[in-house]
Amino acid sequence: MVFRDPPSLEARSRALQEQVAMALVRAPKLPVALPVQGLTLMEVRADRKALELILGYEAPIAALRFERAKDLVALGANTPGSAPVKASVRALHDATAKRLERELGTLCERVRASLTPARWDEAWGHAKGLAELPIGVPMGFYRQLVAGIDHPEALVRTGFLCNQDCGICWQDRTWGRFDAEQIVTWIEDLYEAGARSLILSGGEPTLDPALERYVRHARSVGYLYVALETNAVQLAKPGLAAKLKEAGVTSAFVSMHSARADVSDAITRAPGTHARTVKGVKALFEAGVRMKLNAVMTQQGIAYLSEIPDFIDREFGAWREHFYGLMLSYPTQPWDTSLIPEIAPDPVVLRRELRRTIDRALALGLPLHGLEGPCGPPLCAFGADQRVVTLAPVPESVDFRTHLAGCDGFAVRDACLGVRTTDAAIYGDLCIEPLRERPAPL
């Protein structure tokens, strides 16, 4: 299919960089030679907290970093009339930056002292636009046509900003976003390609002020179903869930990783949000939105996994007609790969708690999803329980999962994708508990 994607963002990025450089140091273009040790101002970078001037020779050696100071006292003696900005030097090439430490420090302070509030506000306005540009992010992360049961489904991510900071997430929160017009264009493109179901995801899509517009437009062009992938934190706000339901939202897929608030808040690294998620889920149910909950089985939460079915029954049982399943997901590779050892669940605890969870969910009549396929655990983690999996042979392997030597002779090896390679590196043979006999069919 053909997407009406935006033109290259490189020209827009360069223009914003030069506008920042002009406001900060009166540099009319980039790159520009500096009268300090033959250095060149090569480019400007920005995030949501600060902007940086990248200095170097043929390659970057240091960044002069500037951010607004929240506490003027922290600035010490501030030049009268200058902007309340903190400045620092960040080494990009340690040896060279160390050799030029005095010169870089002096230059950084000169730039800071020269900044008036008006010049800083001008520079920061351009820098915010630069930070929001999704430079280098694959377009497929924003829009894609995915296989569905009855017809292809449309997936559109409105951006990657989020009000939680889950270590398990595969996304980088600094990735930018496109404007509302581009989101609307992709919704139309995917409909023309044959999609009749639309998933609006993120980041956190409820942070986009145009979300209601996307939903209404999707239904107006002919989408039969519009689903939200959300943490439901924003939906705790009075009236928002009902407004989105009225606009045309038909279902929601809500992340809820633990029944315990402290455990959930630790996983999401967003204290206080578990309670708001519970409130948001109830608001969606009250509005009549069908819902599936998703719990990712992490090391932090695995010991308490079997509490989730009873929590769902207790908190949301009044809306059982709108509840269509609990997804039990295995962690994917996070953006910050250094977190893998603290995210990958202990296989022994996983086997114990997952089986308890399955038994309890089925006893309560809660449908379970996600336990087979690339996003599920190895089948031996739950005895290849045919109450929750079909044991259909897998058509092909995936590059992030592998079979260990102990898997040889496994009775349902043809239906199992194996263990994640990252888990195998941490736990080795503890990852598996081979099944020598195929479970009896139900």
SS3 348: helix
Cβ atoms of 275 and 283 closer than 8 Å: no
pLDDT of residue 397: 82
Query: Quick one: pLDDT band at residue 8, thresholds 50, 70, 90?
Result: confident
Residue carrying the six token digits 């420090």: 105
pLDDT of residue 36: 83
Cβ atoms of 2 and 21 closer than 8 Å: no
pLDDT digits (tens, 9 = 90+) for 160-208: 999 999 999 999 988 888 999 999 999 999 999 999 999 999 999 999 9
Q: Where are the domains of the chain?
A: 10-132, 139-370, 387-442
Cβ atoms of 199 and 230 closer than 8 Å: no
Please state, for a pLDDT cut of 70, what percent of the chain lies above it: 97
Q: Which of 365, 256, 251 is nearest to 317 (CA)?
A: 365
Rounded-to-integer distance, Cα 10 and Cα 28, Å: 18
Residue carrying the six token digits 């999803």: 369
pLDDT of residue 436: 83
pLDDT of residue 80: 55
Cβ atoms of 412 and 435 closer than 8 Å: yes
Asked if residue 214 has pLDDT above 60, the reply is yes
Query: Quick one: pLDDT band at residue 79, thresholds 50, 70, 90?
Result: low
On the 0-12 / 13-18 / 19+ scale of CB atoms within 10 A, 349 is: middle
Bridge partners of 197, per DSSP, are 153, 225
Query: Quick one: pLDDT band at residue 149, thresholds 50, 70, 90?
Result: low
What mean pLDDT comes out for the span 321-331?
Answer: 96
**Identity of the amino acid at 251:** S
**Identity of the amino acid at 392:** A
Cβ atoms of 409 and 436 closer than 8 Å: yes
Diameter of the chain measured on Cα atoms: 81
Q: Is the dihedral of CA 22, 26, 32, 34 positive or negative?
A: negative
What mean pLDDT comes out for the span 239-255?
Answer: 98
What mean pLDDT comes out for the span 49-68?
Answer: 94
Task: Please name the residue ranges forming H helices in 88-179.
Answer: 94-99, 101-114, 117-132
Q: Is the pTM of this model over 0.75?
A: yes
Rounded-to-integer distance, Cα 14 and Cα 27, Å: 13
DSSP state of 36: S
Query: CB count, 10 Å around CB of 227?
Result: 21
Rounded-to-integer distance, Cα 13 and Cα 55, Å: 18
Least confident of 128-137, 182-191, 241-250, 413-422: 128-137
Query: CB count, 10 Å around CB of 184?
Result: 17
**Identity of the amino acid at 387:** R
Rounded-to-integer distance, Cα 75 and Cα 84, Å: 8
Phi, psi of 266 (to 5 degrees): -70, -40
Query: Quick one: pLDDT band at residue 373, thresholds 50, 70, 90?
Result: confident
Q: Which of 438, 378, 366 is nearest to 409 (CA)?
A: 438
pLDDT of residue 147: 82
Express the helix, strand and coil content of the chain in percent, nearest 5 each: 40, 15, 40
pLDDT digits (tens, 9 = 90+) for 256-305: 999 999 999 999 999 999 999 999 999 999 999 999 999 999 999 999 99
DSSP state of 393: P
Most confident stretch, 81-90, 91-100, 287-296, 400-409: 287-296
Pairing of strands 323-329, 368-369: parallel
Asked if residue 342 has pLDDT above 90, the reply is yes
pLDDT of residue 71: 53
Query: Quick one: pLDDT band at residue 74, thresholds 50, 70, 90?
Result: very low
Q: Which of 137, 155, 130, 135 is nearest to 145 (CA)?
A: 155
Whether domain 139-370 has CATH 3.20.20.70: yes
Residue carrying the six token digits 């209404």: 216
DSSP state of 276: H
Distance linking the first and last C-alpha atoms of the chain: 42
**Identity of the amino acid at 422:** T
Asked if residue 231 has pLDDT above 90, the reply is yes
Average pLDDT of the chain to the nearest whole number = 93
Asked if residue 75 has pLDDT above 60, the reply is no
DSSP state of 155: E
Query: CB count, 10 Å around CB of 11?
Result: 9
On the 0-12 / 13-18 / 19+ scale of CB atoms within 10 A, 5 is: middle
SS3 353: helix
Which value, to the nearest 10 degrees, does the dihedral of the CA atoms of residues 177, 181, 185, 188 take?
120
